[in-house]
Amino acid sequence: MKFYNLLIKYRLQLGILLLIVGGVANYYAGFWPAFPAYLIGVILIAGHFFIGPLRLVQTAMEEGDMDAAERVINGIKYPDLLYKPIRSAFYTVKGQLKMMKQDFDGAEIAMKKGLDLGSPIKEAEGANILQLGMIAMQKGNFKQGESYIRQAIRKGLPDKENEAAAYLQMCNIMMNKREFRAAKDFFKRTKALKPTSPEIVKQIKEIEKYITRIPG
């Protein structure tokens, strides 16, 4: 795994080096002895620009090193060359990182770019739309936030934690709109999923203190 990550990290430099080695071999021994170096070099360089180092971003995020993830994302200088599904993932991750830094405008721009490119996984698209809903809520645009979150629920979400987050946000929106019966319904759906995310569990406990006392 570490070797593969190192290969991805230095893929461009290694590809260029192999092209140089191929050029030297071609000069002294002819084309065919140089061909393997040329071929591998071209594959490595093409992989750098068309596939990118998103695996390194995934590794960094799994390890909780968001600074390393951001450095890798910022190191991708030509995202338009990335293969379309990978480009979509690039903008999605970029949006998530910006959201963590509370750059909601930048996060929204990146997320929308990712959505415009489409996703081969329907649930991933739903998760991205949910993120846009969260961003809209953070910016105080509750009407837009509700629209996005409802759309995300219809599209489908990848796991119970995302579903719980969506229902909990809808519960808060309904309470703000004083639609208490709907708020209670969304709260029941949230609890039924038994989420384990500390932030969601904390919000459930806070809402539970007063939701049973509200009418509806």
Residue 58 pLDDT:
87
Confidence of residue 216 (pLDDT cuts 50, 70, 90): low
CATH code for position 104: 1.25.40.10
Residue 173 and residue 74 share a domain: yes
Residue 203 and residue 98 share a domain: yes
90, pLDDT greater than 90? yes
Least confident of 24-38, 123-137, 142-156: 123-137
Confidence of residue 110 (pLDDT cuts 50, 70, 90): very high
209, pLDDT greater than 90? no
Residue 210 pLDDT:
84
Q: What is the mean pLDDT of the chain?
A: 91
- pTM, rounded to two decimals: 0.82
Residue 46 and residue 70 share a domain: no
Residue 132 and residue 69 share a domain: yes
Give the mean model confidence (pLDDT) for residues 38-56.
Answer: 94
Query: Is there a domain that residue 116 lies in?
Result: yes
Query: Is there a domain that residue 55 lies in?
Result: no
175, pLDDT greater than 80? yes
Residue 115 and residue 36 share a domain: no
pLDDT in tens, 55-88: 998 899 888 899 999 999 999 999 999 999 999 9
Residue 103 and residue 26 share a domain: no
96, pLDDT greater than 80? yes
Query: Is there a domain that residue 86 lies in?
Result: yes
Give the mean model confidence (pLDDT) for residues 157-179.
Answer: 93
- Three-state secondary structure readout of the chain: CHHHHHHHHCHHHHHHHHHHHHHHHHHHHCHHHHHHHHHHHHHHHHHHHHCCCHHHHHHHHHCCCHHHHHHHHHCCCCHHHCCHHHHHHHHHHHHHHHHHCCCHHHHHHHHHHHHHHCCCCHHHHHHHHHHHHHHHHHCCCHHHHHHHHHHHHHHCCCCHHHHHHHHHHHHHHHHHCCCHHHHHHHHHHHHHCCCCCHHHHHHHHHHHCCHHHCCC
Residue 74 and residue 37 share a domain: no
Range of the domain at 10: 1-50
Confidence of residue 121 (pLDDT cuts 50, 70, 90): low
Query: Is there a domain that residue 106 lies in?
Result: yes
Confidence of residue 48 (pLDDT cuts 50, 70, 90): very high
Residue 120 pLDDT:
65
Residue 13 pLDDT:
95
Residue 109 and residue 38 share a domain: no
Q: Say how many domains are in the chain.
A: 2
